[in-house]
Amino acid sequence: MNRPDTIRLAALPTPFEPLPNLSRAFGRNGQAPSIWIKRDDSTGFAGGGNKARKLEYLVAEALKRGADTLVTLGAIQSNHARQTAAAAARHGLRCVLLLTDSVENRSEAYRNNGNWLLDRIFGADVRLLAAGVDSSVVAAETMAALSAQGRSPYLIPVGGSNGLGSLAYRDAVLELATQAKSQDCKLDHIVLPTGSGGTHAGILVGVEETGLPCRVHGISVSRSSEQASAIVSGLVQEIATLEGRPRSTARLEVDASQVGPGYGQPTAAMVEAVELVARTEGILLDPVYTGKAMAGLIARVRSGAIAPGETVVFWHTGGAPGLFAYPEAFPG
């Protein structure tokens, strides 16, 4: 197929940098893995993050269809919702966010700070759904109501994760491959958070297309390995169908050991990871996605699954605004 239309939201390419201090923190007998970072927290749009890449495809498709309203779903502290609201604002579109109050036992900051605050600053129509409500049903009802009002709504799935949105991360791997070659960096592993699955799926396809000789480790933040794998696998095949390519044979790995009590629930390993990266490299992770993904990377290094002398890329998907919704997790 022809390359889909895109708009420009992200400042690309994002940096690809070594983390020497973090690498040294895991040295054993003078040897340690070489840890690098792909800085998609530095996409430069609406607080940064991976969703800017996906929205370049999805908002372009919405505009092509004549949409005047973007509708999407997520949790109260959804990074995707925040960037969707900003993309709508930039393009003169209305934005309706259907956000589910699904994360239990959080402080007041969770419901009035972080991404929730930014959604309102960007001018979104934020509608709060109670835990247990079927958000897909509410989304269908919302689309129908907007259409009945004479609007032209466009529904973006949770996380921007469908075949079209996931294509953005196939492209991102091409970007990474070029950067790694220019720095003479041979990649052995890529580690990233796996939530709605689109970033993971796109990276798998990109690794397969470029022939990068590395393993891709998805660290689940919300589901069992089996559930997350099924979602990512389905999206990989959506990409293949969209582009008219054969079915992918990419190796799929999902680790659910860092989910802890559930999506959005802090863990001791997450707190350690966030503080360690902040205090060695001056880089902020987030409590929901990248903190748990870095905890997964750390566990692999400590177990020897990522060996001294190997090179691992941590794909930073952003989310730092979420830190302001979790002050109780970092008492100092």
What pLDDT was estimated at residue 30? 65
What pLDDT was estimated at residue 250? 81
Please indicate, yes or no, whether residues 236 and 287 belong to a single structural domain of this protein.
yes
Please indicate, yes or no, whether residues 140 and 169 belong to a single structural domain of this protein.
no
Please indicate, yes or no, whether residues 95 and 183 belong to a single structural domain of this protein.
no
The catalytic residue among 23, 34, 42, 78 is: 78
What pLDDT was estimated at residue 1? 47
Taking CA atoms, 110 is separated from 40, 48, 78, 176, 177, in Å, by 24, 19, 11, 34, 38
* DSSP per-residue letters across 229-265: HHHHHHHHHHHHHHHT-PPP----EEE-TT-TTSTT-
Please indicate, yes or no, whether residues 64 and 77 belong to a single structural domain of this protein.
yes
| Domain assignment of residue 298, yes or no | yes
| Domain assignment of residue 2, yes or no | no
What pLDDT was estimated at residue 46? 97
How many residues does this entry show for the chain? 332
| Domain assignment of residue 1, yes or no | no
Please indicate, yes or no, whether residues 123 and 81 belong to a single structural domain of this protein.
yes
Choose one of 133, 160, 187: the last residue of a domain: 160
Contacts of residue 230, Cβ cutoff 8 Å, sequence gap at least 6: none
Q: What does the block give as tokens for 284?
A: 């902020």
What pLDDT was estimated at residue 286? 98
**CATH number (domain holding residue 176):** 3.40.50.1100
Choose one of 113, 130, 160: the last residue of a domain: 160
Tell me whether residue 225 is one of the annotated catalytic residues: no
**Structural domain count of the chain:** 2
Q: What does the block give as tokens for 30?
A: 């003078």
What pLDDT was estimated at residue 246? 82
What pLDDT was estimated at residue 247? 78
Please indicate, yes or no, whether residues 166 and 181 belong to a single structural domain of this protein.
yes
Domain of residue 81 covers 52-160
- How far does the chain reach from its first CA to its final CA, in angstroms? 52
Q: Which residue positions in the chain have pLDDT lower than 70? A: 1-3, 28-30
Please indicate, yes or no, whether residues 127 and 218 belong to a single structural domain of this protein.
no
Please indicate, yes or no, whether residues 34 and 170 belong to a single structural domain of this protein.
yes
Please indicate, yes or no, whether residues 269 and 314 belong to a single structural domain of this protein.
yes
| Domain assignment of residue 9, yes or no | no
pTM: 0.96
> What CA–CA distance (Å, rounded) separates 291 from 326?
12
| Domain assignment of residue 293, yes or no | yes
Choose one of 144, 160, 176: the last residue of a domain: 160
| Domain assignment of residue 145, yes or no | yes
Please indicate, yes or no, whether residues 188 and 39 belong to a single structural domain of this protein.
yes
| Domain assignment of residue 172, yes or no | yes
Please indicate, yes or no, whether residues 44 and 91 belong to a single structural domain of this protein.
no
Please indicate, yes or no, whether residues 169 and 154 belong to a single structural domain of this protein.
no
Contacts of residue 323, Cβ cutoff 8 Å, sequence gap at least 6: 114, 274, 284, 286, 287, 330
Q: What does the block give as tokens for 189?
A: 């592993």
| Domain assignment of residue 10, yes or no | no
